[in-house]
Amino acid sequence: MTSDTQEMGVKRSAKGLVARDGFSTSLGVLAATLGSAVGLGNIWKFPYLTGENGGAAFILVYVIATLLVGLPVMISEHMLGRRARADAIQTLRVLAPKRQPWWLIGAAGCLSAFLILAFYTEVAGWVFAYIFKALTGSILSTDPTQTSGVFNDMATDPAQSLIWQWVVLAVVGAIIMLGVSKGIERATKRLMPVLFVLLIAVCVRSLTLDGAGEGVKFLLRPDFSKLSGEVLLVAMGLAFFKLSIGMGTMITYGSYFRRNQNIPVTASRVMLADLSVSLLAGMAIFPAVFAFGFSPDAGPSLLFITIPAVFASMPLGEVFIIFFFVLTAIAATGAMLSLFEVPVAVLNEQLGLSRVKATLLTMGLLVLVGAPAALSNSTLDDFKLFDKTMFDLYDYATSNILMPVGGLFLALFVGWVWGYDQVKSALSNDGALRNERVIRAFFGVVKFVTPVLVTLVLLDGLNII
Ligand code: PHE
């Protein structure tokens, strides 16, 4: 570690070139990390994948993947980022033995961040559009043809799709230019608990609908015949996507962590909170899906066609649905900020671009790379690569290939290259914490269990074995 880094406020790298902003409080670290993890993955992706892949059995695999793969990789990333105090590429360059190309994990991570943003900004665009629609007219209805009509009109209109994506890019770009602690901390700290409470209210309504029981069964009674190699890979990919790992985001965030932050505890809390938000979103959506006779495997539109039905049967639903989409937009923004942070930090620290220029360049590239995803339901719906629209391809390639491969190499790096002594000193905060058992358990998992599981699931899911 460089001696001239500081814990708080402005930091300078060894070369003295780059100022690094940091999180000023421990709560800020937790909130911002959660801000990255909690997002459309919980509210949009988790429910629709659960619906498509058979419910409870999928959730079970997802939880196992979160514990045995997600958590260890997240701890690894926080640990490496804080040790090196640098962006994802530089972190691995500094920590790896000379001439070993582990920094490629960081470089692949930049690519993942880009590709995720390219489709994520589209889904966020739908959320922003729904706030607008809820403000200007009623979108509430318990009739599936009605609610899917509203969604399809929007998603199949090329102009709307592009414009909402650009609105999202402009909003996120503007916040990023304000800097890490100011922009990210302030937005996420206050609003996460409000989202949590609102989701609980929606769950209560959904669970008390007539016929909700089928939805509860769907979420709790596993049907293992639904599992296949592909489904296991999708569940594991979701664990990566959900925790923002395997691509450098959590390395970058770790680089802003305080010296005395208890990393295993922080990461576990983030994991648990993130999991609870996903499960709550599932509980909010599936009872309603079954109660109103919607189909659970509607795919990416599931959230947008189901939620208006739940609010339609709630007092003051017109008002609460606005809150719901505003809070979802904020959660999505927290996640997008952390995604932007990866390429912006690299452009800033590797190429010496100012943060403003780095952000503008990232935004510009995203307008180009994002457009094919935005147009996947309209102009380009017939344009397919590997049998997938660009929206689906970006999503599949990141969650099911790039992030797991990134996570695999990170686990291998920590377990087999960095080694136990380094891990012990990093995770015990140089001996300040008495958490040797935790460290030993972590090390065993990250060295053996995580790499083996990720490899098997990847090979099986991609039909290589
Ligand atoms: N975890 C975020 C979500 O669930 C998405 C994300 C993935 C954010 C990767 C950063 C990096 O919405």
Predicted confidence at residue 345, as pLDDT, reads: 79
Distance 280 CA to ligand 1 centre (A): 17
**Cβ 42 under 6 angstroms from ligand 1:** yes
Ligand 1 contacts CB of residue 249 (under 6 A) = yes
Q: Is the CB of 398 under 6 A from ligand 1?
A: no
Q: What is the structure's pLDDT at 20?
A: 61
CB distance 36 to 193 below 8 Å: no
**From residue 109, how far is each of 112, 134, 243, 337, 405 by CA, in Å?**
5, 36, 14, 15, 10
Output the CATH code of domain 3-461.
1.20.1740.10
Residue ranges for the chain with pLDDT beneath 50 = 1-19, 181
| Residue 275, ligand 1, Cβ within 6 A | no
CB of 405 closer than 6 angstroms to any ligand 1 atom: no
Residue nearest to atom 9 of ligand 1 (CA): 244
Which of 241, 253, 398, when mutated, tests ligand 1's pocket best, judged by the most ligand atoms within 8 Å of its CB?
241
Q: Is 330 in the pocket of ligand 1 (CB under 6 A)?
A: no
- Domain residue ranges in the chain: 3-461
Structural tokens at position 8: 């708080």
Closest atom, ligand 1, to C-alpha of 39? 12
The whole-model pTM stands at 0.92
* CA-proximal residue: ligand 1, atom 4 (nearest): 41
Q: Model confidence over 140-198: pLDDT tens digits?
A: 999 989 999 999 999 999 999 999 999 999 999 988 887 654 655 566 667 888 889 99
pLDDT of residue 364: 96
Residue 162 is encoded by which pair of tokens? Answer: 């592009």
Distance between terminal CA atoms of the chain? 42
Cβ of residue 406 lying under 6 Å from some atom of ligand 1: no
pLDDT digits (tens, 9 = 90+) for 292-318: 999 999 999 999 999 999 999 999 999
